[in-house]
Structure 1
Amino acid sequence: MIITDTHTHLYSESFDEDRTEMMQRALNANVKRLFVPAIDSTYTAAMLQLEKDYPEHVFLMMGLHPTHVKENYKEELAHVEELLQQHKFYAVGEIGIDLYWDKSTLGMQQDAFRHQIKLAKQHQLPIVIHCREAFDEIFEILEEEKSDDLFGIFHCFTGTIEQAHQALSYNMKLGIGGVATFKNGKIDQFLKEIDLEHIVLETDAPYLAPKPFRGKRNESSYILKVVEKLSEIYTISEEKIVDITTENSKAVFGV
């Protein structure tokens, strides 16, 4: 039984003191496929080191995170382009729009999102979308860009059933993590209406730890709590949840 964490920030500073032990806990829990999203160029060296340290388990993405789209975003996008030409990556991500922290950068975020979608198509890679308080803005761009070669994952999906169906209409899978275990998470109320073939598992570690770790640092081994919750929602075995979601991840990332 191989569990896939499709979104984990293993290079985060919050793991600096015990990264080796944290990685071992994940591997001991059979979390053996770990997909690592990019944030900006300052993390590139740490990501490449992780891949070197765990070549059989760590798979990297490249992209510019929407909350890091600043005045220098065109330089950052040039870095993304350069790395995509030099190195093997498994997705362009995480990319998208975040209007929770700063609405003033919307224009730049839209430009960066469109540009990176085009890069993903050029390199025949999936995209991994970050969406916070920006479903309408994200859907507007996906509607413009939709095509057979646009596909990927709506990371940390927290929308409504209607938004879930719209996301699926753009060839996206839904990334489900700790929020599914929250009492006020809401997605657990309709998730069973979404066929499991559209779901992948994630932690977003070190963020959004599932119950009973909510409020604490998240890590990839805690994905077992998400598996447990989905088993309860879909009323099928945990093994089946793991098998289906790992196959779904293979369909997206091609590995």
Structure 2
Amino acid sequence: MIETHAHIYSDDYAQDRDAMLDRAWNAGIEQIWMPNCDHATIPGMMELAERFPGKCLPMIGLHPTYVKDDFETELTIIEEWLEKASFIAIGEIGMDLFWDKTFREQQEKAFLYQCKLARKHKLWIDIHSRSAFWETVKLIEEFGDPNLKGIFHCFTGTLDEANKAIELGFKLGIGGVATFKNGGLDKVIPFVDIEHLVLETDAPYLAPVPYRGKRNEVAYIDLVAQRVADLKQITKQEAIIATSENARKMLVKAS
């Protein structure tokens, strides 16, 4: 399996990070893709990338909830890192209007600028979109580059929203919410071709049932794979093979 989105550098794992990673490898995890948040999360992320080359793969980007008045300084740091290290994607980036709309304008500017960075470096984007799906879509359409691709991480939207994301050329990142009784993805996943899906945990957040409400970890992606398989009426192994292949295709340099 390929874990396409996990914050394994998080302080939540300060006491048992190596044990958590051992559980992930033992569960059959081939790679863990690490999204960035801001300048403060880069050192821990890069340390893991160096310790586990080819297995822990970093992204670089400014998470929308970390966008403040000084966002341009953060973007400069991201550009500096892009010139001196390798990353698989620009992320996680996007729009978050769930808790606070104070920096909405700054979020929009940061997102569009990072889309430019993605195209400059021929990378895809990892999108965080909370209570802002159509606002994010509008920005992607405003950016207007059909070669801009990526993943709508932690997708929890409707079938109409899923189809729109797919129309734009994006994959849907499916995580623990798929296992929630009222998560809503039972009305989406059965009607979306599996070629558009990839698996994630968003660890340490959004742990799947039966761990909901507790600290999430990468090994729990097995539960997500099983849920996708159940909803698609295929075997878990078929779901793993298909979603892992979808993820591998993301690592091919964009045109």
With normalisation by structure 1, the TM-score equals 0.97
Letter of the 1:5 counterpart = E
Task: Write out aligned runs for 1:127-166 (5 A).
Answer: 127-166=125-164
Distance of 1:230 and 1:198 partners within structure 2: 12
- The 5-angstrom pairing of residues 156-195 of structure 1 reads 156-195=154-193
Query: Does residue 92 of structure 1 match 2:90?
Result: yes
Instruction: Give, in angstroms, the shift of residue 147 of structure 1.
Output: 2.5
Displacement of 1:145: 1.9
Matched AA of 1:84: L
Partner of 1:70: 68
Shift of 1:72: 1.0
The percent of aligned pairs where both chains have the same amino acid is 45
- 2-side partners of 1:243 and 1:173: how far apart? 16
Alignment partner of 1:149: what SS? coil
- Confirm or deny: 8 A CA contact 1:158 1:187 kept in the other structure: yes
How far has the Cα of 1:144 moved from its partner? 1.3
Residues 1-255 of structure 1 correspond to what in structure 2 (within 5 A)?
A: 3-254=1-252
* Mapped partners of 1:14, 1:155: distance in 2: 20
SS of alignment partner, residue 64 of structure 1:
coil
CA distance in 2 between partners of 1:78 and 1:228 (Å)? 41
| C-alpha contact 1:128 1:154 (8 A) present in aligned 2 | yes
Q: CA-to-partner distance for each residue in 1:16-40, whole Å, 9 max, x for gaps?
A: 0000000000000001210000000
- 1:72-122 deviation line (CA, Å, top 9, x unaligned): 100000011111111100000000000112101000000000000010001
Which residue identity is paired with 1:224?
A: D
1:137 offset after TM fit, Å?
1.1
SS of corresponding position for 1:95: strand
Quick one: distance in 1 between partners of 2:221 and 2:186? 16
The alignment covers a number of residue pairs equal to 253
2:158 and 2:187 in contact (8 A); partners too: no
Q: Secondary structure at the match of 1:165?
A: helix
Q: Distance in 1 between matches of 2:146 and 2:119?
A: 10
Cα pair 1:4 1:34 within 8 Å, conserved: yes
Aligned-partner Cα distance in 2 for 1:24–1:206 = 16
Residue by residue, what CA displacement relative to the aligned partner does 1:168-195 show, whole Å, maximum 9, x if unpaired? 1111000000000000100122211100
Letter of the 1:175 counterpart: G
Contact 1:124 / 1:149 at 8 angstroms: preserved in 2?
Answer: no
2-structure distance, mates of 1:146, 1:196: 26
Distance 1:183 1:114 in 2: 35
C-alpha contact (below 8 Å) 1:93/1:128 kept by paired residues: yes
Q: Which runs of 4+ in 1 moved over 6 A?
A: none
Paired residues of 2:179 and 2:224 also in contact (CA < 8 A): yes
Shift of 1:253: 2.1
Gaps of 5+ in 2: none
Q: Partners of 2:175 and 2:236 in 1: how far apart?
A: 15
Instruction: List runs of 5+ in structure 1 lacking aligned partners.
Output: none
What is the TM-score normalised by the length of structure 2?
A: 0.97
CA contact (8 A) 2:94 2:111 kept: yes
